[in-house]
Amino acid sequence: MKKLIFTISILTFSVLSTFAQTEATTNDGKKVILNNDGTWKYAETKTDNAEPKDNSDCSQYISTEVDKVTGKSSVAAKEILIVSKDGGKNGFGFYILKSDKGSIIFSIQAVGAGSCIDDDNKMNVLFRDGSRIELINDGKFNCDAKFTQYFGGVFGKKKELEMFRTKEVETIRIWTSKSYVEEDFTSEQSKQLLHTVDCLLNN
């Protein structure tokens, strides 16, 4: 009988202790459990349905270099974005930088459809949301497979630049004097391009 009373007492104490806990929120938004004996612990949070973290830390997309002779700094993509299904024999190499006057420059190698690009050749861009833009080469005629775009400042095209900053690219086609180079972007490549442009604009 004494054993039964002792067991019931323990169970009652456990139940009361559970109900004596109070949940509170700290000044920085963290949930804590306050116990009736003055102790506390962080509340457990469910992570099953948690939103994925935005992995857009700019240090992984852009870098700043200072010319030791002039002292001028330049900000550019940390690496060339290669969009190719065959290791670079056909496809694009994107190098994006910010000029000292704040313009954003896309320097693109378009390989696989002849190496000459005229000054009136075009780039067609399809975004994942179905929107499209067409841009004319801002660079001069060359046979180095180089297509150039300038955005912002005296070059305008703020609306087009905003699209690159906020929308994921699905497909790009660049026309050459011979034919065109066209590549589909993976989700990762689309995000890399978007975050690089966004980080350059916010730097």
Q: Over the stretch 173-202, which tens digit does the pLDDT of each residue have? A: 999 999 999 999 999 999 999 999 999 999
Confidence check: pLDDT of 162 > 70: yes
Q: Over the stretch 102-145, which tens digit does the pLDDT of each residue have? A: 899 999 999 999 999 999 999 999 999 999 999 999 999 999 99
Please state, for a pLDDT cut of 70, what percent of the chain lies above it. Answer: 76
Q: Does residue 75 contact residue 64 with C-beta atoms inside 8 Å?
A: yes
One-letter amino acid identity for 9?
A: S
Q: Over the stretch 59-92, which tens digit does the pLDDT of each residue have? A: 999 999 888 898 888 899 999 999 999 988 899 9
Confidence check: pLDDT of 19 > 80: no
Q: Does residue 109 contact residue 93 with C-beta atoms inside 8 Å?
A: yes
- Does this model's pTM top 0.85? My answer is no
Distance separating alpha carbons of residues 140 and 119, to the nearest angstrom: 5
**DSSP assignment of the chain:** -HHHHHHHHHHHHHHHHHHT-EEEE-TTS-EEEE-TTS-EEEPP---TTPPPP----GGGTEEEEE-TTT--EEEEESS-EEE-SSTTSSEEEEEEEE-TTS-EEEEEEEESS-S-B-TT-EEEEEETTS-EEEEE--S--BSS-EEEEEESGGG--HHHHHHHHHS-EEEEEEE-SS-EEEEEPPHHHHHHHHHHHHHHHH-
| Confidence at residue 27, expressed as pLDDT on a 0 to 100 scale | 61
Confidence check: pLDDT of 153 > 80: yes
Q: Name the CATH superfamily housing domain 58-202.
A: Invasion associated locus B (IalB) protein (2.60.40.1880)
**Which sequence spans correspond to the domains of the chain?**
2-42, 58-202
| Confidence at residue 88, expressed as pLDDT on a 0 to 100 scale | 84
